[in-house]
Amino acid sequence: MVSRKGRNAVLDTRYAVATVYVQHGAAAKNTCCADSEGVISVIDVENQVFNNVAKALRAEFKGIFVVSTDTDAPSSFPAVCFWEQSNVPCAETQTAHSRENSAELMYQGNIYSNLVSGGKQQCRKIAAVIDREMTKMGFIRTFGQPVLNPADTSISRYVLRYKGIVDRDGYVYTS
């Protein structure tokens, strides 16, 4: 994934017109979201994003439990539940045949610690690693805050949310 920030961050609405050729040509080379016939379908980078985040977390926190689904009662600690919460095509970049060229994605991470002393600090250290990886990929953090864990109030919980617009080539656009 490549981040595109600054002046080049605005999606060119002319891009959708140019993709008519790409869909029938180089689209099969795309590992982001082309089917076996090279036709662009739903933009799907969730596994790539999750794997990047999980790999970094496992490298820095030995034994950390990382899953791509939500749970309010992890089986071990520290724990991170990190998943794609939303994937909505950007209508202004779709082709005349409704092929998506970009999608607005949102990711959420719930971080849990069962430390009696220092749980909130452990959550923040884990959040910093997630933030580093998501920022490196070009996503913007839209939310980050400790929240009450309703399943067990003795467990610290920190929630993060990120968003970005990803095109069919895997580029992430931010403002």
**pLDDT for the residue numbered 174:** 80
Report mean pLDDT in 10-residue bins for the chain, 175 residues. 53 38 28 58 94 98 97 93 96 84 96 97 98 97 96 95 95 84
Cα angle 111-115-121, degrees, rounded to a multiple of 5: 60
Whether residue 127 contacts residue 135, with contact meaning beta carbons closer than 8 Å, is answered with no
As a whole number of angstroms, the distance between CA 77 and CA 74 comes to 7
Whether residue 169 contacts residue 23, with contact meaning beta carbons closer than 8 Å, is answered with no
**pLDDT for the residue numbered 51:** 98
Q: Give me the sign of the Cα torsion angle 80, 170, 41, 102.
A: positive
**pLDDT for the residue numbered 2:** 61
Three-state DSSP at 122 gives: helix
Predicted TM-score (pTM) above 0.85: no
